[in-house]
Amino acid sequence: MTARHDVPRLHALDGLRAAMMLLGLVLHSATSYTATPLGDAWPYQDGSTSTAFDFVVFIIHLFRMPAFFVMAGFFAALLYYRSGPADLFVHRVKRVLVPLALAWVVVFPLVRLGFGYAVSRGGSTGGATVSAAASSGLYAEPSLVHLWFLYDLFIFYLVALAAMPLVERLPLLIRDGAVRAFAAIVPRWWAPVALSAVSAITLLPMAKPALETSVSFAPPIRVLVAYLVFFGFGWLLFNCRELVPSFARRAWLQTVAGLVVSLAYMAAVLSPRVQSREGFLVACVLAAVAMWLLIYASIGLFVRYFDAHRPVQRYVADGAYWIYLVHLPLAIAVPGLLSPLGWPAAAKFAVTLAATTGVTVVTYHYLVRSTAIGVLLNGRRYPRALPSPDQPAVAAATGAAGPA
């Protein structure tokens, strides 16, 4: 389907991968201040809330991880065709499985302690009671917390490695026909709507008309299948990567359309009719359309505005993996620290986001970028200085930081 060869670093897609990770900081910094309690998904709610943060969390959650999995599939295919299945497996064990295991051992108990601290300072529990970690054990009731996507991602790598030998045994006419059909659909204005039909079907088995996330070590098949659609799209997109520039054509139009459909989806979810079969179906369709419009829009905006080697963009892309891995305890503890203050929700959110970003960036710069941890996460030691504008681009499969 695609000959094995080197591909220059793809700055737009590399930047998009990093941006979707860093949006997690915005998401988690806002979650403590939503007017609607989020239950067990975020068992703390500050005394200062705003419905504006309900919208922020809703929109980001709707498309962020689907867009990330598209990028993950794209770069996984790049490595597969460039270096072969064995290198893909070894590379992803080093970059995904090992960091997942090491980060989880440290981060999971800190998340438990963070929620316990936040609740002890004020506010309220949004769902299940947050007990003190010391009394129930630091590793009691283990979950993947925000690292679930790495776990699912490694499963998808295994699925791809198992499926590709079967695909490659198919007649060339069938394989090339599938790629040509994909290439014929992707650039069309109606492509997000067509793709949403597939995602809408995957949403129907969900408990609610939304794309679920599972922090379980045994994620439900329905969740894996739903995200695998995005990973598979990214894999196929690599085979038609000459189409990537076409995403820029309607980027702003798709952004506006995606936000409008997202509002319609939010209204459908809040409507009593969502309890009916028809209302559930309508909400699933709206969710799928909104997701694909915003995925197309995000790819298009990055292709249009970030498809060049810029030192700051490169530095952020290199650091995003570490920043995301370690940010969650801070995004929980800082709201706890601010809880007794009578500040408005917007001010607390701004301080939470700034503190979380600042600490994670500083630790990346001094403890990770030029150290053995940087080798583990990024594949090499980078100098602490910003990359120079004339620094040669590194092949995307080896130079792109992180799991994508």
Name the residue range of residue 192's domain: 11-399
Could you tell me if residue 1 is inside a domain?
A: no
Position of tokens 């409507």? 271
- The answer to the question of residue 385 being in a domain is yes
- Exposed/middle/buried for 119, CB within 10 Å: 0-12, 13-18, 19+? buried
Lowest mean pLDDT among 125-139, 205-219, 312-326: 125-139
User: What share of the chain in percent tops pLDDT 90?
Assistant: 82
pLDDT of residue 404: 67
Strand partners, 50: 34
Across residues 343-359, what is the average pLDDT?
97
Of 231 and 37, the structure prediction assigns the larger pLDDT to 231
Alpha-carbon distances, residue 170 vs 79, 100, 161, 174, 182 (angstroms)? 21, 35, 15, 7, 17
The pLDDT confidence band at residue 38, using thresholds 50, 70 and 90, is confident
The pLDDT of residue 1: 47
Tell me whether residue 3 is in a domain.
no
Question: Could you read off the pLDDT of 146-179 as tens digits, one per residue?
Answer: 999 999 999 999 999 999 999 999 999 999 999 9
Q: How far is CA 350 from CA 283, 353, 354, in A?
A: 32, 5, 6
Q: Is the pLDDT of residue 133 over 70?
A: no
Beta bridge partners of 124: 45
> How many separate domains does the chain show?
1
Asked if the structure places residue 216 within a domain, the reply is yes
Res 384: pLDDT:
82
Work out the average pLDDT over 364-391: 86
Under the banding of pLDDT at 50, 70 and 90, the label for residue 143 is: very high
Contacts of the segment 100-108: beta carbons below 8 A, 24+ positions apart: 100/147, 100/150, 100/151, 100/154, 102/376, 103/147, 103/325, 103/326, 104/144, 104/145, 104/147, 107/145, 107/146, 107/147, 107/325, 107/326, 107/328, 107/329, 108/138, 108/139, 108/142, 108/143, 108/145
Residue 357 lies in a domain: yes
For 239-273, write each residue's pLDDT tens digit: 999 999 999 999 999 999 999 999 999 999 999 99
> Would residue 404 count as lying in a domain?
no
CB-CB contact of 196 with 289 (8 Å): yes
The counts of H helices and E strands in the chain are 15, 0
Q: Is 61 helix (H, G, I), strand (E, B) or coil?
A: helix
The reported pLDDT for the residue numbered 240 is 94
Q: For residues 18 and 318, what is the distance between their CA atoms, to the nearest angstrom?
A: 8
Whether 150 maps to a domain, the answer reads yes
Q: Is residue 72 part of a domain?
A: yes
Whether pLDDT at 392 is above 50: no
pLDDT of residue 390: 55
Summary mean pLDDT of the chain: 91
pTM equals 0.92
